[in-house]
Amino acid sequence: MIPGTEIGIRIDQTLTQDATGTMVMLELEAMGISKIKTELSVQYVDHNLLQEDFKNADDHLFLRTAAQKFGLWYSRAGNGVSHPVHMERFGIPGKSMAGSDSHTPAAGAIGMLALGAGGLDVAFSMAGEPLHFKMPRIMGVKLVGKLPDWVSAKDIILEMLRRYGVNGGRGIIFEYYGPGLESLSAMDRHVIANMGTELGATTTVFPSDHEVKRFLKVQEREKDWVEIVADQGASYDLADEINLSELEPLIACPSSPGNVVKVKDVAGTPISQVVIGSSANPGIRDFWIAGEIVKDKTINPSISLDINPTSRQVIENLIQMGSLANLVKSGARFHQAGCLGCIGMGQAPAYGKNSLRTVPRNFPGRSGTLDDKVYLCSPETAAASALTGAITDPRDMEHLYGMKYPHYKNSEKEIINTSMLLAPSAGTSGELEKGPNIKSFPDFSPLPDTFEAPVLLKMGDNISTDEILKAGVKVLSYRSNIPEISKWSFNIIDSQFYVKAIKAQETYGGHIVVAGHNYAQGSSREHAAIAPRYIGQIAVIAKSYARLGWQNLINFGIIPFEFINESDYDTIDPNDEIRISGITDSFLKNTEHVALNMTKNLKYRLTHGLSERQTEVLLHGGIINFHKSRELVHSKG
């Protein structure tokens, strides 16, 4: 296992959610799979909860019948956000998991090796195939000290983002250890592991120690606990250390999780909305602390305080503790359990106004408002700011309201709610129920050996999948309809992109796009590759790629070229026509490719980081074509 080389691992569990799961189930159907082969797989419905018409409701019915047919657990709409629910009900230390959601690494909080992946990779894992990825380096992050009052787990991961930005974790697994873990609950660790994704990390891992044992015991699953801790004196490829005692409240400013500053440096900035919840701050404590801060107080009249509870189980416990009443009495708006505002499914902020959120991402337009200004912070900072109407350092609560920091004590017993989890059926059963918006997976042709195509977009660094294919109410309902969702490709960057792509497809047979570093960061949404491919994208030429986005491009037959000389990026402009020939031969011989800028008579040297297996996948036009070709060979053999 040499860092940078491709490895494949067995996957024990999978996690899919409705925004990506519909495509996974269609892919299983396209591959002819009758029953999944993982130890446990769960289909959650937590993203597309708003039912403004039939489309999302149809998807829910389709997913329920697919879970019955293929043998998955099914978490019904409104039961809760996938990551915390999975950690409570199904996560087992030492098991591997692949999830078609980029925040799947949250399960590393209890000692799982959990990786976000494109839906197609997850589908293959469910079919019993290995999950392939490049062997990462391991960074050991030693935690020492203890968090001060008014500072919590969100500030730890924001400190990591302050140090490393949104691409400093590429090709790295972060492993946390040290005496500082003593004061961090399993759900505190979930906050850190969840947002490790924003570092660009492969995944995040915590030890399975006495705290994980306590957590599983509270969830009535102590039998699933196994101790997994680092050997004494273990060494790491990379190392860092955080003294928790020295941390103070931090905040990520618009519009990147890596744009982190101290809260006190932006204190006083007016806001109009505060959203508390999401998979990034999902624990009972996160809502309890907000409830204690606003208890017997009324939120500022200029503020909408929105509460996104993460599960029905959390809601039941908040009711018993009185925290729900504290939030409601303060003027908070209470929503159903799900992702909602985090993914732009409702709760969009007012135009030109600042929104303060405990969610994991603040990429441009992700909230549902095109010109949004979203800040990311802890529940403490969020609740304090909801009272004042401006970004507020929560430590100021002591002199503003004479309030001492409320210390949360982890419960030794919780209300357990499994009423909306449906177990897999005993055998293969029934047909897939497809509404009119659900279309079968499209066929894609093999890779051309030569192409000449225009550059339709030239983009900068850190382009996110939210910008490549936006989320939100208008778009998410088309996740199972590739022809329709493809119309939203790159819409945030260029509202006329679809029209240009169709014209290029008719004239040239396709198009390419050009980008800077860390292209396709963020969500695992494979639609950010499928939709552009459907309207003719042949290749991307970038300085570098985010892991998930890069893998998805390969899976669907889009060539992820990289500049050998990064300065060549500066000489390409939109509408330049690029010609590349001898593609098959160059891939098979693993030599560099030469691209000709026909418009400017320039040559560009290009490379790629593909393994031999990935090269075969790409030449076939994607992994489904590759799978079918193998099946054909096996049947003839």
In angstroms, the CA 400 to CA 148 distance is: 19
> E strands within 382-507?
421-422, 451-458
pLDDT > 90? residue 428: no
Name the strand (E) or helix (H) holding 560. strand 559-563
Task: For residue 255, say if its preceding peptide bond is cis, omega within 30 degrees of 0.
Answer: yes
Global model pTM greater than 0.85: yes
pLDDT > 80? residue 427: no
* Angle ∠(146,355,260) on CA atoms, nearest 5: 45
Domain 451-636 listed as CATH 3.20.19.10: yes
> E strands within 102-253?
113-116, 131-134, 137-144, 172-177, 203-205, 238-243, 250-252
- For the chain, the average pLDDT equals 94
- The tens digit of pLDDT for each residue in 222-254 reads 999 999 999 988 999 999 999 999 999 999 999
CATH code, 250-397:
3.30.499.10
* Angle ∠(292,297,303) on CA atoms, nearest 5: 100
In angstroms, the CA 386 to CA 300 distance is: 6
- Residue 161 pLDDT class (50, 70, 90 cuts): very high
DSSP percent split of the chain into helix, strand, coil, nearest 5: 35, 20, 45
Mind giving me the DSSP string for 521-536?
Answer: BS---THHHHHHHHTT
In angstroms, the CA 598 to CA 362 distance is: 38
DSSP helix/strand/coil, 354:
strand
Every domain of the chain and the residues it spans: 6-246, 250-397, 451-636
pLDDT at 476: 82
Q: For CA atoms 318, 324, 327, 333, give the dihedral sign.
A: positive
- The tens digit of pLDDT for each residue in 513-540 reads 999 999 999 888 899 999 999 999 999 9
- The tens digit of pLDDT for each residue in 3-54 reads 999 999 999 999 999 988 998 998 898 888 889 999 999 999 999 888 888 8
Residue 193: burial class (beta carbons within 10 Å; 0-12, 13-18, 19+): buried
* Domains 6-246 and 250-397 fall in the same CATH topology: yes
- Residue 142 pLDDT class (50, 70, 90 cuts): very high
pLDDT at 636: 55
Length of the chain: 637
Determine the average pLDDT of the residues in 588-613.
Answer: 93
Name the strand (E) or helix (H) holding 23. helix 18-31
Helices 623-636 & 18-31 angle (0-180, nearest 10): 30
In angstroms, the CA 561 to CA 592 distance is: 10
Q: For CA atoms 336, 341, 347, 353, give the dihedral sign.
A: positive
Q: What is the DSSP letter of 519?
A: B
CATH code, 6-246:
3.30.499.10
57 vs 111, residue with greater confidence? 111
β-bridge mates for residue 208, sequence order: 228
